[in-house]
Structure 1
Amino acid sequence: MALKQTFSGGLFGHASALVLGAVLAVSGTAAADSVSRAFSIPAGSLSTALNRLAESGGLQLVYDTAITEGLQSKGLSGHYTPEAALQRLLADSGLSYRMAENGNIVIERQSLNYKQDPTALPAVNVVGKKVYDPNDPFSQFYAVPNASTATKTDIAIMDTPVSIQVVPKSIMNDQQAIRIEDALTQNVSGVQRAYGTADMYESFIIRGFASDDQMYRNGFRRSMGKFDPANIEQLEVLKGPASVLYGRLQPGGMVNYVTKKALDVPYYSLQQQFGSFSEFRTTVDATGPLDKDKTLLYRFNAAYDEGNSFRDFVDHERVFIAPKLTWRPNDRFEANVEIEKRHENYTEDYGVPVSGNRPITNRRSLFTGDPAIKPSQDTTLIYADWSFKFNDDWGLRHKFQWDETDIVFGGVAPNSKINADGHTLDRFGILGTSNRRSYSTSLDLTGKFQTFGLKHNVLVGGDWFFFNQDAPDNNFSYGTIPTFDINNPQYGNFDMAALRAEPANWFWRSRDDWYGVYFQDQITLWDKLHIMGGGRYDMAGYGGYGGTSWDETKAGFSMQHEDKFSPRVGIVYQPWDWLSVYGNYVESFGTNNGRSATGGNFAPQAAEQYEIGFKTEFFDKRLSSTVAYYHLTKNNLMTFDLSTPDPTDQKTIGEARSQGIEVDIKGQITDEFSLVTTYAYTDARYTKDYSGLQGNRLLNVPEHQASLWGTYQFTEHFKAGLGGVVVGKREGDNTNTYQLPGYTRLDAMMAYVQPIGKTRLTAQVNVYNLLDKEYYTGSTSWLPTANVGAPISAMGSLKLEY
């Protein structure tokens, strides 16, 4: 920030030099500015506080320095309009303010009325930089400097020897991404959607490997499900194995979403979105203090979402609420309690069937299920944490989460590819229930200290995770559901009562129960070299069993236990502030492989990764980039054992490898131009297998994929954007018997902001798939079906903020 000051004796002489105006270079007169912005002004002299307000708020203040002499300010922290911030600083000071005709703000004693012409006074010009504030609800920043997922500590991304990509809500807002899937696959390199049981839960492929149902919320694993973005502040994707800090994980990486915080300044938002296919979505966001001392804060987010689809008979309805309370009695202690409730009814849709080595084309609305059977989900989450700072360097944090999901299954799915006649399809029905419940807790001690000139940033912690799944009454019916003719679709042509009367034939109980302790130290030398080392010791238990009845399943269920130590090392060298060169080596503790036929334990899956890359920050750290090369191997995959005469024997000698290059660039080129661009080259295939998979590419992983998105702020009120994604050909299954063709999709947006008193109204419209291309977003992992991308469509929005 460049500061230019001019003092003159003027009317009051040198002893009472009249000061002080400030003009933020990118703002007009802020007294007329009704837009809230972030302020952080420490307690101290009132004169200093007013200077900082003028500097950061874009105000031109004029006053006699004598009237502020000896006056103190309590400071200011939070989001205010500039005028509201000035009012708070002057409260109980005996001073008031008024607007001069030339737009200056004159500060004076309440009992006096200075008549001097403020236009004759010299001004102080301050040119300031915008600073990223993660809690600013009006933030337009695309680049985020910090993310806690990679290290569980507050370390800048530039100082972290791993690839961590962040999608803040500003990008999600510009793209109107109402699904996590859209926000990630368009804005993070090497990420694709993975499909399990239709659209029952959200799963992603990162660096070639599917994450299964392992989604994280504020560092804790969620039970299987879908998650509403109404309460999400930003999405963080940690590339590569992450089990060192989080326990058992698939090695490609993890998705962690960070929820919105309660703020100590009022903020209210009401948004109504409406789009193609009868999409109707209403969201509410309200936050602020509950007491005058701002020790008790709240936040309330809610969403109602309903709509149809371009797919025949496919619809959805979701209700979501998320209240939160924060207690902050002093600057050392903070406690938070959150609740989330979600209810969802939807149609189970597996996409279009496969014929030969391709999904069928020109039939993207064809629904092969039946609208008479629909599933539902009910989810309840309770989260609590507290943190205490012993001093500026040491702190303790404890977190707890309880998460439960009840699922009612209901759907009809293709059982195979299209038959030899070219138009009929065998199907099966799914009915039943499942309960998934998890408990998580962690305790972390963080600290900073120096030894022999070395700066240490340490983490020592432990966690416990428990997960239980019961599926006591599921039925996979292959006889009741009739054959489907894609040329003459018939629905409701089976006996629903007979289907429900069929006895259950699939039962399952599983449990994860593990403890972990971990440590990490990031050592800094000469402020340029950062060396990170750490490890985790897991004591993990797992059990999974399915019998011929629920009673047999419960009786046959048992747990097996495994221990493992996983190390991680990394190094960052920063020859200049704008460049970081890094590398890492990490091992991972993965999925359990169960028991052998003789009752012994198969070795659990494991992984190791080597990675090198560099990161940059340009344009006052508003534009960031990461370029990475990685080599990732997943070991101990199950495959046939050729050393025995029994062809069904298996052993854990299988291996899959993913290697590639990833590029992520996001941020602001100028104050007006924001940009996101990504590219990933991914070579992911089986490298050792005796089941016929060796040499095959992993399913749903394109060799090349890229994206580009940019917005330009043409005026203070009007913004427009354009972008697209390019995805290469993908294999539809692990046996590589069919392929999904590559595609290109273009999107666009326009937004207009109009202040209305103390509120602001944003009208926005987004258009997706501008060229109306037919494409496939991914294949189902265990069925020969392909999920279809939407045709040209639009989303409109009206958002009122105060």
Structure 2
Amino acid sequence: MIHFLQRKNLFGVKIPFLSPNFLNLFVICFSALVFTPGIASAQNGSFGSIKGTVKTSDGKAAEYVNIIITATSQGTTSGQNGHFTIKNIATGAYDVAASFIGLQTQTKQVVVIAGEAVTINFVLAEGGKELQEVYVKSAKHNKFLKKETEDVARLPIKNLENPQVYSVVTSELMKEQVVTSYADGFKNIPGTGVPLLYNNGRTTLLSRGFTTGNFIRNSVAGYNFNAIDPADIEKIEAIKGPTGTLFNSSLASFGGLFNRVTKQPFEATRTEITYQTGSFDLNRLTADVNMPLNKEKTILFRVNTALHNEHSFQDAGFTRSFFVAPSITYIVNDRLSVDVDAEIGNGNATSAYRLAPDPKAKIYNIKDLGIDYKRSFANNNLDYQSRQIDIYALVNYKISDKWKSQTMFNKTFSTTKGFVTSFTISDTAIRRQAIKEDYPYYITNIQQNFIGDFKIGQFRNRIVVGMEYYNQKSNWSNLTANMPLINYKTPGAAYNSFTPEKVSALLAATAPKPGDYVQNNQSSYAAYVSDVFNITERLNAMASIRIDRFENKGAYTPADGKTTGNFNQTAWSPKLGLVYQVVKDQVSLFGNYMNGFNNVTATSFDNTPFKPQYANQWEAGVKIDAWDHKISSTVSYYDISVTNTTMDDPAHSGFSTQAGTQLSKGIEAEVIANPFAGFNIVGGFAYNNSKITNAATGTGLQGLRPAASGPARLANLWMSYRITNGKVQGLGLGVGGNYGSSSYQTNTATFKFTIPSYTTVDATAFYDQPKYRIGVKVDNLTNEKYWSFRLAPQNPTRFTLSLNLKF
């Protein structure tokens, strides 16, 4: 077993380390892995070197390709011009392999002669399976650029041909930034803001002024109501604007959606094991194992797993989880392939911090509240268990040279069981609330797409015709206990009274209600079609439409046999776009009209079903992908108008009214650049102007910015430099940060509660070699105090050390 001890680092921060025996063994093995080739060479007394170039089949230099002498741990990576050199090699015959995800691995034999430099050159062909996951041509130079994806349009069109705006965060960028939580990857997406962490670990972020959840995985429902582990993430796709035409509107917001794309098997054999430790007792162990299961490489297997343990920076709070994600690909023949994968997770954690101010209070800013930043006001015994099973299958069948069939199936079970907490605060006192809950969710999603690429006359058409079925069931069981008020500045012994025993006693004394146990069941049936029509070589148009039939069987309470909120709705969602490439394959101008809708499940006073909410977006901008992919940028202006907005009914407490309209407009800009060898930039800026343009009388919302829209201005920047040649090739540094303007937790005519602006700075240093990688990261370097929309204090300065072994 592995035992952990607490030791202090140079900064005085407690960091868990492995026990001495295990640590010694780790150091010995690590040293042997790194230095054995040098020792062997020294004993031999004769040295030579290997040099050469790596190119792809189109004749262009391939950067970041791993060059490994297979019988040893010696190796290097190719530089930006494709050149590589491996020095101090003992004389003899060797197999040398060149590999990069998305390119077919190539192995060559070479004989090293003393005092000479033998030359070998590689030409790597592009691999079919890997190209679904990685944009190889961009990666040759701009390693964080992976814009090319079939997910956004459900069609194989390039970014410059797509009239929609989207951002992609790659696993390479998350690795460089030593990301240990899924939400940290969103720091690189313009306009997402501070993550909102919910009671069961679920996260939502902002997109164009709308709260947007993480409910889509591999383009279908991945309704994980718990925390998402980043171990299995190949990339995060942020698709902007109302997306009701090609995606299930139940899983998206009017600002867009986030699609997490998981790691898939590929043809090479590779294993990576990573251990991460740092502030707040972080212990994280992950493994990524990939291998073909037969000689023909038609059956491919990959598994990603993670063991995570971390405490809060506050006086209570923890997260412990185990996660495993196996995946298998079966290439039946040149027409048929089947992918099956799963995500299985089991966790134990305390509830997320959640604070709501009293509208009758006289304090209007979280900084003026004077609440202790490091007090949790909770107890580690008030925790919950979470479980997740997510099964996904994809069947691709090539019908002909012009048509293919794509069938996707997803089945999800996600649940939390235990105690979650929330707090209400006034000028001097805080009330703590505990909810004992059991929330299982059952999701089924089936999609069938037919994708074509053909010509009508001289005009090229790329078309997708699809159908989708979605069902969501849940059984909610919850009991609420309210604790007595305590002084939040000087709580005294009462601070420790928030225990399972005290809460259970209050729950036992509470009279049961029919709403303590509720069953929900809703389904949707959809059909859609989208066509990208090339008018000329540079001008193309997109036209799409979708029809949804939504059936909500309502909330059923077995105690009284009543059902409320049951209704049926039908909605149409069109989408139009136009793209003109001013400079072919480098600069394009685009415009779009997009529509999305939400089926409203709120309750009116007279139990009248609400109409669907509709969002209509107009957008125009420019996309750039120039200088052999060294710079990629998108700048756009959007205008989103929402009708049938619901809000609290001022005449009937606890009910909603549908009498509002909302406007959200703004500017978004993103740049991903590689100005010169080894230097990479990822940056973004978002300005959002949201306001309620028509509000029900008495709500106090008319003309005001919705509090949930977050900061009006958000910016992100990451810059890194990696040495690409010489003795310290692979050594790199990175620095960046995020900014958000001030925002509101509550914004009405009668009460406003402000969240201050924030600026955070992060920095990293790493040494990346073909066989290992060492990285250190400091988040929130300036120890900025800042809060989420739920008034949850965010992490202070945090240190993380990452050790990665590659086989």
Q: Normalising by structure 2, what TM-score?
A: 0.81
Mark the CA change 1:196 to 1:247 in structure 2 (over 3 Å): closer, same or farther.
same
Residues 1:746 and 2:761 are matched in the alignment: yes
Moved more, 298-307 or 518-527: 518-527
Q: Superposition pairs for residues 326-365 of structure 1, below 5 Å?
A: 326-351=329-354, 354=357, 356-359=363-366, 360-361=369-370, 363-365=372-374
Deviation at 1:461, TM superposition (A): 0.4
Match of 2:312 among 309, 312, 320: 309
Q: Superposition pairs for residues 197-276 of structure 1, below 5 Å?
A: 197-198=198-199, 200-212=201-213, 214-248=215-249, 249-276=252-279
Residues 1:384 and 2:359 are matched in the alignment: no
Residues 1:764 and 2:775 are matched in the alignment: yes
Match of 1:444 among 432, 445, 449: 449
Deviation at 1:144, TM superposition (A): 1.2
| 3-state SS of 1:85 partner | strand
In the alignment, what sits opposite 2:539? 529
Mark the CA change 1:633 to 1:170 in structure 2 (over 3 Å): closer, same or farther.
same
| 3-state SS of 2:254 partner | coil
Deviation at 1:469, TM superposition (A): 1.3
Deviation at 1:618, TM superposition (A): 2.3
In the alignment, what sits opposite 1:85? 106
| 3-state SS of 2:107 partner | helix
Verify the 8 A CA contact 2:408 2:447 in the aligned structure 1: yes
When the two chains are superposed, the root-mean-square deviation of aligned CA atoms in Å is: 3.4
Moved more, 25-34 or 315-324: 25-34
For structure 2, the 5+ residue unaligned runs are 1-50, 56-60, 87-96
Moved more, 364-373 or 460-469: 364-373
Moved more, 213-222 or 401-410: 213-222
| 3-state SS of 1:183 partner | helix
What one-letter code is carried by the residue in structure 2 that aligns with 1:591?
Answer: N
- Matches of 1:329 and 1:130, distance apart in 2: 17
1:293-316 CA-to-partner distances (Å, cap 9, x unmatched) read 111110011000001121111111
In the alignment, what sits opposite 1:104? 118
- Matches of 1:327 and 1:298, distance apart in 2: 9
- Matches of 2:390 and 2:655, distance apart in 1: 42
Verify the 8 A CA contact 1:352 1:364 in the aligned structure 2: no
Deviation at 1:202, TM superposition (A): 1.2
| 3-state SS of 2:796 partner | coil
In the alignment, what sits opposite 1:395? 404
Mark the CA change 1:237 to 1:82 in structure 2 (over 3 Å): closer, same or farther.
closer
Q: Superposition pairs for residues 780-799 of structure 1, below 5 Å?
A: 780=790, 786-799=791-804
1:699-744 CA-to-partner distances (Å, cap 9, x unmatched) read 2511111111110013412010111111100111243620100011
Match of 1:603 among 600, 611, 618: 611
Verify the 8 A CA contact 2:384 2:417 in the aligned structure 1: yes
Mark the CA change 1:273 to 1:126 in structure 2 (over 3 Å): closer, same or farther.
closer
Match of 1:719 among 732, 735, 740: 732
Q: Superposition pairs for residues 584-599 of structure 1, below 5 Å?
A: 584-594=592-602, 596-599=604-607
Q: Superposition pairs for residues 349-748 of structure 1, below 5 Å?
A: 349-351=352-354, 354=357, 356-359=363-366, 360-361=369-370, 363-414=372-423, 416-419=424-427, 422=428, 424-472=429-477, 474-478=478-482, 480-481=483-484, 483-488=486-491, 490-492=495-497, 495-503=502-510, 504-505=512-513, 506-545=516-555, 550-552=558-560, 555-557=562-564, 559-576=566-583, 577-594=585-602, 596-639=604-647, 651-690=657-696, 691-700=699-708, 701-714=710-723, 715-735=728-748, 737-748=752-763
- Matches of 2:52 and 2:224, distance apart in 1: 55
Mark the CA change 1:418 to 1:730 in structure 2 (over 3 Å): closer, same or farther.
same
Deviation at 1:178, TM superposition (A): 1.9
Deviation at 1:136, TM superposition (A): 9.4
1:127-171 CA-to-partner distances (Å, cap 9, x unmatched) read 999999645999971111312332112211111001010001111
1:368-398 CA-to-partner distances (Å, cap 9, x unmatched) read 2233311221111111111111234311010
In the alignment, what sits opposite 1:4? none
Verify the 8 A CA contact 1:149 1:238 in the aligned structure 2: no
| 3-state SS of 1:244 partner | coil
1:88-110 CA-to-partner distances (Å, cap 9, x unmatched) read xxxxxxxx75345533358xxxx
Deviation at 1:455, TM superposition (A): 0.7
Verify the 8 A CA contact 1:147 1:166 in the aligned structure 2: no
- Matches of 1:37 and 1:288, distance apart in 2: 22
Deviation at 1:606, TM superposition (A): 1.2
Deviation at 1:29, TM superposition (A): 12
| 3-state SS of 1:369 partner | coil
| 3-state SS of 2:267 partner | coil
Deviation at 1:502, TM superposition (A): 4.3
- Matches of 1:353 and 1:593, distance apart in 2: 24
Mark the CA change 1:165 to 1:23 in structure 2 (over 3 Å): closer, same or farther.
closer
Verify the 8 A CA contact 1:59 1:82 in the aligned structure 2: no
Residues 1:141 and 2:174 are matched in the alignment: no
Deviation at 1:772, TM superposition (A): 1.3
What one-letter code is carried by the residue in structure 1 that aligns with 2:350?
Answer: T
- Matches of 2:729 and 2:603, distance apart in 1: 64
| 3-state SS of 2:773 partner | strand
Mark the CA change 1:207 to 1:321 in structure 2 (over 3 Å): closer, same or farther.
same
| 3-state SS of 2:383 partner | coil
| The structure with more radius of gyration | 1
Q: How many correspondences in the alignment?
A: 706
1:9-39 CA-to-partner distances (Å, cap 9, x unmatched) read xxxxxxxxxxx98666679995759799999
What one-letter code is carried by the residue in structure 2 that aligns with 1:556?
Answer: T
1:233-255 CA-to-partner distances (Å, cap 9, x unmatched) read 00000000111111223211000
Residues 1:774 and 2:761 are matched in the alignment: no
Verify the 8 A CA contact 1:98 1:105 in the aligned structure 2: no
| 3-state SS of 1:263 partner | coil
- Matches of 1:429 and 1:762, distance apart in 2: 44
1:376-433 CA-to-partner distances (Å, cap 9, x unmatched) read 211111111111112343110101011011211413321x3224xx2x2122221121
- Matches of 2:269 and 2:432, distance apart in 1: 54
Mark the CA change 1:512 to 1:212 in structure 2 (over 3 Å): closer, same or farther.
farther
Moved more, 486-495 or 730-739: 486-495
Mark the CA change 1:149 to 1:181 in structure 2 (over 3 Å): closer, same or farther.
same
- Matches of 2:221 and 2:118, distance apart in 1: 51
For structure 1, the 5+ residue unaligned runs are 1-19, 40-54, 61-75, 88-95, 107-123, 781-785
| 3-state SS of 1:170 partner | helix
Verify the 8 A CA contact 1:686 1:694 in the aligned structure 2: yes
What one-letter code is carried by the residue in structure 1 that aligns with 2:737?
Answer: G
What percentage of aligned pairs have identical amino acids?
23
Match of 2:184 among 179, 182, 185: 182
Deviation at 1:544, TM superposition (A): 3.5
Moved more, 690-699 or 361-370: 361-370
